[in-house]
């Protein structure tokens, strides 16, 4: 058990014992090195002649008295895993940070993994994880170079950036790091951050596979690149007008009373950059509203996903973590378990548009961005329906500015939002508190030429009108 626990994090433990510079006699230095080596073997259950307590004390002495960076790292792992001591995240972090500062770069890798996978009771924190990987990469850790690139590839704790990720993978690949060679193969095969190049991709994948990397062998056996789903699952749905890039979605619902109903539409999975469509599936949803609570279910393809959510005071919707079982490209024939991290969407009179954020319980990280568009059953998908006549706009079409006139039944805070024909919000403005009666406002929305729906939300009133920028 001890062996298994240590090996799980043990880039530091499995490396050759580093030369220790103690500033004393060479003989004494060799003795300490030998004792540290023996202590590690005891913790790895290779040696049984000494106790675990002796091993922990030996590492502590070397770390405190001799400033051994390697012993500091090992001691940090001991506290991380609770081997011969109580688990203690504070001591684990302190010892491994000291190891890193004293020249043992792999300690930063262990720290990065600790926060990436929420080990030793710490809360998962991708930002901290990324910073530790950066620190280790700057000090020459090949493992950190790879994991820094992986975080950039997916945008975990940092801005998503394929090109910067490739720089990291290239740096690690110079040492024949098999996972980095594999990731370079994926980038060239799919055209992520580089021009798509099948031959170069196969070369990287082949090198990775020859080093024993299983994922590379499996990728070489696949007949299609990552975008293989596109146009396959969606043949039965017409006139979808799928956005080429992941649209921006508001985090605040404009009118929660419109949520309840039965909907039909589709859901799209994008790559990590949100610029490549990977696949599409039919999507249906049933939603009910009771006070500030929302309940219902989604059917993604053939998979039913129940959900519950709560409407907060600022009209934000907080989803509880409903479980989702879905097939995934890299999972083979088995479904992968996710939970719903969040759904962010705009609500229109006859349409819901938004994004679904899933979290992989296996990988302990978010899934790729997913966008959905749903039309209320029995209503036309044309967003120009259900237009309110109680607001007038002139001139319309307009070039830059127009005047909107409407009448309020009561004093209210007023907000204006402009949506495109797909239901995605393009522009908004808070007008503040306005008095009961007739009102007129001058507006200059920063939008491209075309047809839009303008929504004026004022207390219990909700005005809609078509506007055209010519």
pLDDT single digits (tens) 102-141: 999 999 999 999 999 999 999 999 999 999 999 999 999 9
Average pLDDT, the chain: 84
Alpha helices in 88-159 (DSSP H): 89-101, 106-116, 126-138, 142-154
Mean pLDDT is lowest, of 12-21, 79-88, 247-256, for 12-21
- Whether a cis peptide bond, with omega within 30° of 0, leads into 134 is no
Instruction: Name residues whose C-beta falls within 8 Å of residue 230's C-beta, 6 or more positions apart in sequence.
Output: 277, 278, 279, 280
- Residue 18, pLDDT > 70, answer no
Average pLDDT over residues 368-390: 67
Distance separating alpha carbons of residues 356 and 322, to the nearest angstrom: 12
DSSP, residue by residue, 135-148: HHHHTT-HHHHHHH
CATH class of 391-469: mainly beta
List the Cα angle 186/119/135 in 5-degree steps.
60
Residue 34 or 421, more confident? 34
**Token digits of residue 199:** 């031959």
Average pLDDT over residues 265-285: 88
Mean pLDDT is lowest, of 66-70, 94-98, 274-278, 380-384, for 380-384
Q: Cβ(342)–Cβ(320) under 8 Å?
A: no
Going by C-alpha positions, the residue among 33, 1, 5 that lies closest to residue 18 is: 33
Q: How does DSSP classify residue 398?
A: B
Most confident of 232-241, 258-267, 418-427: 258-267
Distance separating alpha carbons of residues 291 and 315, to the nearest angstrom: 12
Locate tokens 């998908």: which residue?
381
Residue 451 or 120, more confident? 120
Residue 3 is predicted with a pLDDT of: 41
For the chain, the domains span: 2-221, 256-376, 391-469
Chain-centre distance for alpha carbon 171: 24
**Could you tell me if residue 239 is left (phi over 0), alpha (psi between -120 and 50 degrees) or otherwise beta?**
left
CA distances (Å), origin 109, targets 99, 115, 131, 331: 11, 10, 10, 26
Residue 333 is predicted with a pLDDT of: 65
The pLDDT confidence band at residue 254, using thresholds 50, 70 and 90, is low
Mean pLDDT is lowest, of 227-241, 269-283, 367-381, for 227-241
- Residue 231, pLDDT > 50, answer no
CATH class of 256-376: mainly beta
Give me the percent of the chain exceeding a pLDDT of 70: 85
Residue 10 is predicted with a pLDDT of: 38
Mean pLDDT is lowest, of 50-64, 195-209, 408-422, for 408-422
- CATH superfamily, region 2-221: Tetratricopeptide repeat domain (1.25.40.10)
Going by C-alpha positions, the residue among 192, 198, 167, 193 that lies closest to residue 180 is: 167
Q: Cβ(64)–Cβ(32) under 8 Å?
A: no
**Token digits of residue 330:** 């890299």
Looking from the CA of 192 toward its CB, the CA atoms found within 13 Å total 33
CB atoms within 10 A of CB 139: 16
Distance separating alpha carbons of residues 251 and 246, to the nearest angstrom: 15
Mean pLDDT is lowest, of 252-266, 267-281, 351-365, for 252-266
Distance separating alpha carbons of residues 60 and 41, to the nearest angstrom: 15
Residue 428 is predicted with a pLDDT of: 87
Residue 21 phi, psi dihedral angles, 5° rounding: -100, 110
Alpha helices in 174-291 (DSSP H): 178-190, 198-210, 214-221
Q: How does DSSP classify residue 118?
A: T
pLDDT digit string (tens) for 288-341? Answer: 999 989 999 988 877 888 888 888 887 778 887 788 887 777 776 678 889 888
Residue 313 is predicted with a pLDDT of: 81
Distance separating alpha carbons of residues 367 and 155, to the nearest angstrom: 11
Residue 325 is predicted with a pLDDT of: 83
């Amino acid at each position: 058990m001890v062996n298994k626990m240590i090996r799980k994090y043990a880039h530091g433990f499995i490396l050759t014992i580093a030369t220790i510079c103690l500033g004393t006699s060479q003989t004494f230095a060799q003795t300490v090195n030998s004792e540290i080596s023996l202590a590690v073997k005891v913790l790895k259950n290779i040696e049984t002649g000494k106790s675990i307590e002796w091993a922990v004390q030996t590492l502590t002495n070397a770390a405190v008295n001799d400033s051994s960076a390697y012993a500091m790292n090992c001691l940090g792992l001991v506290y991380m895993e609770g081997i011969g001591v109580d688990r203690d995240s504070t001591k684990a972090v302190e010892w491994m940070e000291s190891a890193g500062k004293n020249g043992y770069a792999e300690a930063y890798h262990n720290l990065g993994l600790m926060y990436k996978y929420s080990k030793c009771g710490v809360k998962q924190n991708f930002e901290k994880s990324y910073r530790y990987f950066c620190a280790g990469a700057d000090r020459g850790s090949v493992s950190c170079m790879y994991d820094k690139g992986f975080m950039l590839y997916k945008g975990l704790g940092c801005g998503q950036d394929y090109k910067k990720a490739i720089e990291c993978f290239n740096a690690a690949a110079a040492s024949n790091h098999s996972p980095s060679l594999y990731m370079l193969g994926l980038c060239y095969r799919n055209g992520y951050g580089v021009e798509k190049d099948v031959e170069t991709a196969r070369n990287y994948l082949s090198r990775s596979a020859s080093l024993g990397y299983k994922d590379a062998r499996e990728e070489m056996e696949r007949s299609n690149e990552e975008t293989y789903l596109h146009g396959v699952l969606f043949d039965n749905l017409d006139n979808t007008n799928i956005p080429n890039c992941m649209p921006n979605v508001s985090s605040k619902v404009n009118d929660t009373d419109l949520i309840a109903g039965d909907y039909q539409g589709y859901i799209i999975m994008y790559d990590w950059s949100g610029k490549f469509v990977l696949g599409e599936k039919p999507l249906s949803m049933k939603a009910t509203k009771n006070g500030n609570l929302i309940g219902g279910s989604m059917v993604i393809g053939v998979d039913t996903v129940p959900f519950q959510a709560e409407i907060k005071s600022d009209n934000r919707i907080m989803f509880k973590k409903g479980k989702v079982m879905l097939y995934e490209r890299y999972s083979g024939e088995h479904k992968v378990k996710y939970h719903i991290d969040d759904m962010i969407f705009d609500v229109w009179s006859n349409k819901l548009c938004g994004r679904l954020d899933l979290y992989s319980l296996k990988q302990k990280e978010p899934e790729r961005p997913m966008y959905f568009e749903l039309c209320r059953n029995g209503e036309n998908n044309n967003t120009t329906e259900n237009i309110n006549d109680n607001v007038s706009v002139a001139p319309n079409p307009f070039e830059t500015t127009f005047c909107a006139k409407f009448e309020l039944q009561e004093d209210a805070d007023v907000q204006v939002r402009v949506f495109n024909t797909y239901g995605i919000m393009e522009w908004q403005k808070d007008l503040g508190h306005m008095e009961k009666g007739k009102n007129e406002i001058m507006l200059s929305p920063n939008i491209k030429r075309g047809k839009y729906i303008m929504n004026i939300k004022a207390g219990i009133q909700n005005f809609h009108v078509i506007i055209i920028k010519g």
